[in-house]
Chains A and B, each alone.
Chain A
Amino acid sequence: MSIRNVGIVYRKELREALRDRRTVIASVVVPLLLFPLLSVGFGAVITSIIGKTKEESPKIMILGGEDSPGVIASLKATPKIEIVTAAANWKDLVINKDVPAVIEIPPGFDKAVADQKELDVTIYNYSGDLKSEIAAGKVDKTLKSYRDDVVKNRLQARNLPESVLKPFEVKQQNIAPPEKSGGALFFGGFIAYIVVFLCFNGGMHPAIDLTAGEKERGTMETILSSPVSRAHLVVGKFLLVLTTALATAALSVISMGISFAIANSLHSAPVQAGGDGMSMHIGVGAALSVFIMAIPLAVLFSSVLLTIASFAKSYKEAQSYIMPMMFLVIIPAIAAMLPGVDLTPKLALVPILNVSLLCKELVIGTYHWNFIAIIFTSTCAYAAFALFLAVKMFQRESVLFRS
């Protein structure tokens, strides 16, 4: 293997890639802009929408209650709501989002409460609509507090303490360190998914451009007429695809780390997990570990992309082969994000899924060295095989001169 020739091919491909707008956008601009937009930008927008909606005074319609001034007075005293006159078409008003919530007070409510009879108060809302959920939440809180007051008064009338109703409390206490809690695990899975996806995405365009693109532009015959061997040529091309895949992954992790740090400091993080919240930061060590594990995966992706793309006659044909491949990459990466999917010796051999699961653990600082060894070795083996295939593919006339 002549390193000189591989180096010449690589340097030329790198020079061309840096002048190619599509490669620069996919490998540099997208990872650098995606995360600030996602975390700071998107987070800020969501926070401001939620905040604004909470500040608004939603319209609440009360059906019935004419004979129950007690509950009506309590509802009217709810801060930041606007009581509107009851209308017969109240259902349509809710469905059309004109009124976010409607409360139905049954006839004789106050009297029934005084007589200690059981009855239902219904809140009608538009499930899934943010404004409606917030409005319903506000009146729900008022009604529950009214109910608690009724209970308190009844207990007082009988000289009973409030603890009669609550003989004991049930509490859940998280003892996992905050950086390893469920939220952090989800965040780890998310990072693994992004790294895997962008690693593939970053290598996709150059892989097509350097093979099917060359055939389409007619430069393949030019380069094949030079003394460079096909093995050197494909290795040079492979190194360029690997560079862009890794550059995309590295820039993504760096950009994500910085963006989430900024988002956390602005309190505008878009995702909040459970009651523990989520520590959305990546330590330098974790980022480095994820990057190291991404290397054999990037080799695998680059080789597979080159193999498939070199078979195609044109850029478009290559895209149509590679797009379905995208699902094969995304599905295991998403599966790794699911709660309950953890590393086992068998899963450690499943390509992509194994690295995704491992990255999830690495982000939260857990190092299972036996799994790391299995996964690194198996991914290297798959990658070597894929690279071997790519070289073989490039030496086949039926592939290079497919017509």
Chain B
Amino acid sequence: MIEARGLSKRFRDKKRGEIRAVDNVSFYAKPGQIYGLLGANGAGKTTTLRMLATILEPTDGTAVVYGHDVVEQPEKVRASVGFLSTATALYPRLTSQELVEYFGRLNGLDEPTLKKRVDYIFDRLDMNEFRDRRCDKLSTGMKQKTSIARTLVHDPPVMIFDEPTLGLDIMTARSIITFIRECRDRGKTVIFSTHVMSEVEKLCDVIGIIQSGKLLAEGSLAQLREQCGEQDLEEIFVKLVAPLYSTTEAL
């Protein structure tokens, strides 16, 4: 599970002064559920997820991921998490298998376990054809599969996806969506950020709408429809976000 408690992140900018990228965000994501963080560009989604993955440290508040505090035990948190985003690229000079093994070792797997795990994942994701090919020679789809294999190698109970389909073609994006669904079906806690309404409608059990670093509303799609008196998710989103939205901020 993931529990964010008053999570906040402030940055200093020379021109704009202090920026509250994430402002007192609290939510709870359960195992076997997909929590969708829906927001426009610059709303604070990536910063929130980076704090949950302990890539960034919160300025205030904290979060507990699979029983570990992100501030107190960041290494244990990272060992429990699979983090995937379009920004998490692959090492170009390693082969697909070497890359997955590297992350397996960093996650503390011993060699026999690692071998079994890598063989299982490469069979399962149908990656054997390119396991010895260098990452810079892989197609987009193959790269995406390698990234998925990297996040799964230590079989983490929590999966964090930061706009994982951004810039991908339809077929690759679909395979990612299927993968996210499988993670939920296997009982993992999944948190997923996007600004694509259709993905949220298809996937999420709980939706959190975020803007200007603040969590504006939270609930299932049905609850949000009832709360806002709108059927269409896009309309719900616009109704909630419009008062806080500034074009300059998004730019």
Contact = CB atoms under 8 A, between A and B. Distances in A.
8 pairs of A and B residues whose beta carbons are closest in the complex? A218-B89, A225-B83, A222-B88, A227-B79, A227-B78, A19-B93, A16-B93, A226-B106
B103 interface: yes
Contacts of B92: 217
B87 interface: yes
A154 interface: no
B241 interface: no
Given A8-B102, A401-B56, A225 B88 contact: yes
A20 B93 CA distance: 8
A307 to B, nearest CB: 21
Contacts of A229: 75
Given A8-B106, A225-B81, A219 B91 contact: yes
A323 B150 CA distance: 36
Q: Which residue, A20, A218, A225, has most C-beta atoms of chain B within 10 A?
A: A225
Interface string B116-156: 00000000000000000010000000000000001000000
Interface string A89-129: 00000000000000000000000000000000000000000
Given A15-B93, A20-B93, A219-B91, 15 more contacts: A8-B102, A9-B106, A16-B93, A218-B88, A219-B90, A221-B88, A222-B90, A222-B150, A225-B81, A226-B107, A227-B76, A227-B108, A228-B75, A229-B75, A401-B56
A15 B97 CA distance: 13
Contacts of B88: 218-219, 221-222, 225
B94 A16 contact: yes
Contacts of B83: 225
20 contacts: A8-B105, A9-B106, A12-B91, A12-B98, A15-B94, A19-B93, A20-B93, A217-B92, A218-B87, A219-B88, A219-B89, A221-B87, A225-B53, A226-B78, A226-B107, A227-B106, A227-B107, A227-B108, A228-B106, A229-B75
A401 to B, nearest CB: 7
A397 interface: yes
B26 interface: no
A5 B106 contact: yes
A397 B56 contact: yes
B89 to A, nearest CB: 3
A151 interface: no
B197 interface: no
A283 B52 CA distance: 58
Interface of B: 53, 55-57, 75-76, 78-79, 81, 83, 85, 87-94, 98, 102-103, 105-108, 134, 150
Nearest to B76: A227
Interface in A185-240: 217-219, 221-222, 224-229
A117 B128 CA distance: 101
A274 to B, nearest CB: 50
A224 B162 CA distance: 15
A218 to B, nearest CB: 3
B89 A16 contact: no
Interface residues of A, number: 21
A219 B81 CA distance: 17
Contacts of A219: 88-91
A30 to B, nearest CB: 20
B137 to A, nearest CB: 12
A59 B57 CA distance: 81
A217 to B, nearest CB: 5
Contacts of A222: 88-91, 150
A228 B107 CA distance: 8
A316 to B, nearest CB: 18
Contact of B75 (A20, A217, A227, A397): A227
Interface string A73-86: 00000000000000
Given A221-B55, A397-B57, A401-B56, A226 B103 contact: yes
Contact of A15 (B53, B56, B98, B150): B98
Contacts of B90: 219, 222
B57 to A, nearest CB: 7
Nearest to A233: B106
Interface in A371-403: 397, 401
Nearest to B135: A219
A221 B87 CA distance: 7
Q: Which residue, B76, B85, B102, B150, has most C-beta atoms of chain A within 10 A?
A: B102
Nearest to A7: B105
Contacts of B56: 397, 401
Contacts of A19: 93, 134
A12 B102 contact: yes
A3 B91 CA distance: 22
A171 B8 CA distance: 84
Contacts of B75: 227-229
A16 B93 CA distance: 6
Q: Which residue, A12, A217, A227, has most C-beta atoms of chain B within 10 A?
A: A227
A318 B107 CA distance: 31
Nearest to B160: A225
Contacts of A224: 55
A397 B93 CA distance: 26
B7 to A, nearest CB: 15
A26 to B, nearest CB: 16
